[in-house]
Amino acid sequence: MDIDTECLTPSVALKLITESQNTPSRSPEKVNRETSLPPGFEKIWTPPLVKLNIQGTSNPLSDLSGSAGIVRDQSGKWVFGYIRCHRSIPEVAAGLLAIYHGLKFLWDSGFRRIHLETTSFEIINALTTRSSLFCKRKTLLGSCKDMILKEWECDIYHISKEQNSCAEWLAKRSEEQPQELVFFEYPPRGLVDLLEKDRLAAI
C-alpha cells in the first residue's frame, strides 16, 4: 500500500529562548526581543490548535475506496481538506491513509497541536494498543503511529457520525477523483452549508 513520502513545507520554530546578555553572537533583532523579558525567563509561543476529522469509505459495488480529511481551526474555520481515491483496500485502511496524509501535511506545515477525530473504534484501538491489524512495524499502521508520536500534541478522540458529517461528505466524493491525493484550499461549494451548520452546533 503506497504512502506519499514527499516532503512539503518546512516546520517552524516554536520556542524562543532568551540568551545571556553576555552572549556575543546575538543578532540585533534578538536583542530587541529579549529586552522585554527578565533574565532567565523563556518566551514561549503556544502553537494554534487545529482539528483533523478523517473518514474512510469502501464501496464493494465499484471496488473503490476513499479517504478524506478536513482541518479546521479552533473557531471551526476551514484550513484545508483533502481526498484520495483507492482501489481494493478496506475501509479501515482508507481511514488510516487519511490520518497519515493529514498528519504529515500538518507536521510539515508547522502545526503542533492537533485534535484527531474519527468515528472508528477499530482505528482508535489499532493506534492506541498493540494491534494485529497489520503485522509488520513499517506498515501503514506503524507509519501513522510514528506520526502521532512525534514531538507535538496529537490527541485522538472518538466522535459520533453526526459530528463527522463534513468529513463523511467529502469522503463520498473521492470516487469522482483520480487515484492521487487532491487538496482543497477552499471548501467545495456543496460543503459550505454543512460546515457552517457544524460550526454553529459546536458553539
**What does the pLDDT read at residue 88?**
80
**What does the pLDDT read at residue 11?**
29
Query: What is the torsional sign of CA 73, 69, 100, 10?
Result: negative
**What does the pLDDT read at residue 25?**
39
> Which residues touch 79 (CB under 8 Å, ≥6 apart)?
50, 71, 72, 73
Instruction: Quickly tell me which residue has 458553539 as its cell.
Output: 203
Q: For the whole model, what pTM was predicted?
A: 0.75
Tell me where in the chain the CATH 3.30.420.10 domain(s) lie. 49-202
Minimal CA–CA distance to 90: which of 119, 107, 121, 67? 67
Q: Render pLDDT for 82-123 as a digit per residue (tens, 0 to 9).
A: 999 988 889 999 999 999 999 999 999 999 999 999 999 999
95, 186 Cβ separation under 8 angstroms: no
Question: Quick one: fold of 49-202?
Answer: Nucleotidyltransferase; domain 5 (3.30.420)
**What does the pLDDT read at residue 127?**
92
Spell out the per-residue pLDDT of the chain, length 203, in tens. Answer: 544 433 333 222 222 222 233 344 333 333 333 445 667 666 666 788 999 999 999 887 888 899 999 999 999 999 999 999 988 889 999 999 999 999 999 999 999 999 999 999 999 999 988 766 555 445 899 999 999 999 999 999 999 999 999 999 999 988 777 778 999 999 999 999 999 998 888 77
**What does the pLDDT read at residue 41?**
67
Phi, psi torsion values for 70, nearest 5 degrees: -130, 130
Q: Render pLDDT for 183-196 as a digit per residue (tens, 0 to 9).
A: 999 999 999 999 99
133, 93 Cβ separation under 8 angstroms: no
